[in-house]
Amino acid sequence: MKISEKLSGMFVLHSSLGRTMTIFMLLLLTAVLMVSAWTLNRSWAHKLQDIRSNAVNLSVSQARQAEDTFLQTEITLRAIQRDIPNNGPTYANKAALSAVLAEMKRGLPQLNGLFVYDAQGNWVATAAQTPTGMNNADREYFLYHRKNRHGGSHIGHVIRSRSTGELVIPVSIRLNDSGGGFVGVALATVRIDSFRRFYSYFEMGDGDLLALLLDDGTALYVRPFPDSFINRSLSSSPLFTTQLVRADRGTGTWNSALDNKVRIFGYARSGQYPLIVAAGFDKSALWSQWLHDSMPDLVLNGMLLIVIVMIGTVVLRQVRTNVENQIELTTLRDELTTINQSLQALALLDGLTGLANRRQFDIFLAQNLKRSAISGRPVGLIMMDVDFFKRYNDTYGHVAGDNCLRRVGEALKNLPLRQTDLIARYGGEEFAIVLPDATPDAALRIAQSAVEAVREAAIPHKSTALKDEVVTLSAGCFVLVGSDTGQDAQLIKEGADHALYQAKHNGRNRAVVNEAG
């Protein structure tokens, strides 16, 4: 059995009631699924919206925290700048300057150190005890200030302190003489650990990140990644290629350039320093968490669907039972109808030849004559008689005579007639053909075809008066337009009988049309 047939039987699709109930249940299930999907989708959308908002707020707050940190550092450097003589730092006031630097550093725990360098990069003063004779002229910040005359602060890439070995962010300003000439650098180093410690206060997932970046894409610190990611360039990230081009703060979803993990990001650019803070939340972890939180809704929706399916199953089972009962009753009714039709057909068929009998012939002829009276279209009648049939019976016997009539009937059945035509056994060895909407010429052609068909059947007839010694047929045709007077059947039969008489009189084995009307 095909799957389609099984489904049709299961859901009673061959019944209008079954189809209606199936469609109703499917619509109900679809509605529940759509409402559930819409509700869950809105829940997920709200979850994403909340995460985006949290990410932006977190990045904005941390951008301000970073601004405060570097602003305090810059203010300290400006104070140092004011204490440096116009001719630049000298070793003469080294002790006093170092004491001032140490006092300043004590109020800023985020600082690793405060330093002053002369024009050659030599350490002139520091907030802590350092080795003598050290030179930092090779550092990026020193080279930067020697080449650039502007007096703004400079935040460099993360370096490892030569005095303490810690990872620090150098913040520096240029020291100028009265004529604007370069006389040294004032440097403050901000501990990476200060950001590490501060960022650790926030509750975030294992896959979430919080990053402090320079505006050239350099990572200053990224939680929770190891120190090996510090100073990595993220300039190819969508944060720098598309997001910051459009706005200084915002949100977006993209693959992180650090580990290619999809995160929902919030970002903010500092308005005062070349700093950017980005907060990213692992989307897959958020999805898992959302699924866990939505599990009660999913279970309830699933139970509702199961209840609907169970109710639908019970209803469809009852419908199937009712339909089966109806089918049984319908089958019994159809069987009785078929039996009645068979009995009626048998009552209208000739038992010997299988052609229409005299009763069916009379009914059919009367009906077509009535239609003819209304439409004005003629009705043709062919009356046929087996030639010398009495001699055939006398020679071969009545059983052979019945077989002869049966073969004649088979020959007539093969005539090229229309579905609207009727062949009947009129009685004994007589046959008739009723031709609705037929002209005399058409009736004659059919009659001649009947004569030829019987002759070509070559049924032996030694007692015939004809030379071929086979069974032959004589036929007479008549065409009449009905008048609805009640005499039409009699008139058309008499006309066809007259033509049949003429065919026999003219030598038999032929067809004649009576065109008198």
DSSP 58-102: HHHHHHHHHHHHHHHHHHHHHHHHHHS-TT---GGGHHHHHHHHH
For range 229-258, the mean pLDDT: 92
Contact 515, 480 (CB under 8 A): no
CATH superfamily membership of 1-341? PAS domain (3.30.450.20)
| pLDDT tens, residue by residue, 279-292 | 999 999 999 998 88
Give percent helix, percent strand, percent coil of the chain, each to the nearest 5.
50, 20, 30
pLDDT band at 385 (very low <50, low <70, confident <90, very high): very high
Residue 330 in this model has a pLDDT that exceeds 80: no
CATH 2.40.50.140 given to domain 358-514: no
| pLDDT tens, residue by residue, 392-421 | 999 999 999 999 999 999 999 899 889 889
Q: Give the model's pLDDT for residue 24.
A: 78
Amino acid at 131: P
pLDDT band at 297 (very low <50, low <70, confident <90, very high): confident
Residue 16 in this model has a pLDDT that exceeds 80: no
Tell me how far apart the alpha carbons of residues 420 and 321 are, in angstroms, rounded to a whole number. Answer: 44
CA angle 119, 175, 83 (to 5 degrees): 115
Q: Give the model's pLDDT for residue 482.
A: 87
Q: Give the model's pLDDT for residue 8.
A: 55
Tell me how far apart the alpha carbons of residues 185 and 143 are, in angstroms, rounded to a whole number. Answer: 10
For range 132-141, the mean pLDDT: 83
| pLDDT tens, residue by residue, 180-206 | 889 899 999 999 999 999 998 888 888
Task: Name, in order, each residue with C-beta under 8 angstroms of 114's C-beta and a sequence gap of 6 or more.
Answer: 76, 80, 101, 102, 104, 105, 126, 127, 186, 187, 188
Contact 312, 294 (CB under 8 A): no
Q: Minimal CA–CA distance to 105: which of 85, 122, 130, 88?
A: 130
The single residue listed with the structure tokens 């100073």 is: 231
When mean pLDDT is compared across 113-117, 299-303, 448-452, the lowest value belongs to 299-303
Residue 6 in this model has a pLDDT that exceeds 70: no
pLDDT band at 174 (very low <50, low <70, confident <90, very high): very high
CATH 3.30.450.20 intervals, the chain: 1-341
More confident residue, 445 or 335: 445
CATH 3.30.70.270 intervals, the chain: 358-514
Q: Give the model's pLDDT for residue 3.
A: 61
Q: Give the model's pLDDT for residue 132.
A: 59
Q: Give the model's pLDDT for residue 13.
A: 57
Q: Give the model's pLDDT for residue 169.
A: 94
Mean pLDDT value across the chain? 87
Q: Give the model's pLDDT for residue 12.
A: 55
Residue 154 in this model has a pLDDT that exceeds 80: yes
Residue 152 in this model has a pLDDT that exceeds 90: no
When mean pLDDT is compared across 95-99, 365-369, 405-409, 447-451, the lowest value belongs to 95-99
pLDDT band at 342 (very low <50, low <70, confident <90, very high): low
